[in-house]
Amino acid sequence: MSRPKRRRGVPLYVWVNDDEYAAIQERMAQAGTLNLSAYIRKMALNGYVLNVDLSPVRELVSLQCRCANNLNQVAIHANTYGVYPSEIAALQKDYAQLWSRVSEVLKQLAEVTAL
């Protein structure tokens, strides 16, 4: 059986010294890339690789899920027994926390896009 043809048929050779190679390897690790060829191609074509830490967004989604769950429970309780002021205050506190995290994440995203 013959090997399938390559999608990219033009080889590109770049010579670097040991320090440059170490810097490239370090930046690949920071970007989470294991394939040197893909990394070099991405950098040559686009000029930069942006690696974004999405842990604040995951926390935000978790807070949103908890708030939605609480709201659902209060809606069920309100339809069955009525609403207690303490439940409304707890929901308001949760939403205030959620929106403070939303504003923090939006500020961080604005800083990233300003680069």
The per-residue pLDDT for 1 is 61
Claim to verify: residue 69 and residue 93 sit in the same structural domain: yes
Burial of 30 (0-12, 13-18, 19+ CB in 10 A): exposed
Claim to verify: residue 66 and residue 110 sit in the same structural domain: yes
pLDDT band for position 115 (cuts 50, 70, 90): low
The per-residue pLDDT for 49 is 63
The per-residue pLDDT for 20 is 94
Claim to verify: residue 70 and residue 103 sit in the same structural domain: yes
Token representation of residue 84? 């207690």
Claim to verify: residue 47 and residue 66 sit in the same structural domain: no
Task: Using the predicted structure, report yes or no on whether residue 56 has a pLDDT greater than 90.
Answer: no
For residues 62-74, give the mean pLDDT: 81
Claim to verify: residue 66 and residue 98 sit in the same structural domain: yes
| pTM of the predicted model as reported, rounded to 2 decimal places | 0.43
Start-to-end Cα distance in the chain: 50
Claim to verify: residue 90 and residue 75 sit in the same structural domain: yes
**Using one digit for the tens of pLDDT, what is the confidence trace for 76-104?**
887 788 777 787 788 778 888 888 888 88
Claim to verify: residue 45 and residue 90 sit in the same structural domain: no
